[in-house]
Structure 1
């Protein structure tokens, strides 16, 4: 799935808690070490504070996964919402890299890879992420600065 073409369609869903739509949102599996590392990377390189973050296991994360018809227990993709448009899989990664600006925007070149191939690679990593990178057994405490950008 590259994007959902109805910006802010989740606004009409009473199950989805409100959040700051003026910022991008990254919804990630907080138990996944790889996914959490991605969030820490984005936080560290997001000088303008463009992104907020929510765990897929949170009330907001669960509501968004349900809203978009995605599995609410096996988080096979991060969700990235930019300007009200949902991005998943490799397109989610590319959307974040573009938003971070140069030099990270160069990594958005993954969108030049045929979508089917890019998503197959993404799916392979996602399917094996716990085995390859590990899994947090307890919730990590984010820094005060990162916690200020977490939507719960």
Structure 2
């Protein structure tokens, strides 16, 4: 790997922070890794040291993010905005999903919140952080697993 590639891995510009106990988040992460051919997305769980560090050291509590954040070039995006920006980063036809950004944020976020509220009931929840396979694990920040 070139020095530029090494630097990109040390300081990735697109970091998806996911709920490490959520089966939906786990499966979407595996899906994103499979389709992110240019390896633009990197990951960390919200519960991990990397997740807490990226959020300024704040623990994730009841008032914290529900399931997904995207740190893109130092800016933290949440809810539907984070999902749409992550889809654009994956590339390919997924980039077209970013067009949904024209829908007013309150409407997009209502749909996001509805899924986030029901994700454990619909998809299940692990009692501990799910361990990804090696292909997915290689895309996590060094201390990004809980």
Q: Which runs of structure 2 are paired with 1:3-152 in the superposition (5 Å)?
A: 20-65=10-55, 67=56, 72-74=60-62, 75-151=65-141, 152=143
Aligned residue for 2:10, secondary structure, equals coil
Shift, 1:80, TM fit: 0.7
The gaps in structure 1 that reach 5 residues or longer are: 1-18
Higher relative contact order (CA 8 A, sep 6+): 2
| Contact 1:77 1:88 (8 Å CA) reproduced | no
The gaps in structure 2 that reach 5 residues or longer are: 1-8
May I ask how many residue pairs the two structures share in their alignment?
132
- Deviation above 6 Å: which 4+ runs of structure 1? none
Aligned residue for 1:87, secondary structure, equals strand
Q: Which is helix-richer, 1 or 2?
A: 2
**TM-score of the pair, normalised by structure 2:** 0.80
**TM-score of the pair, normalised by structure 1:** 0.77
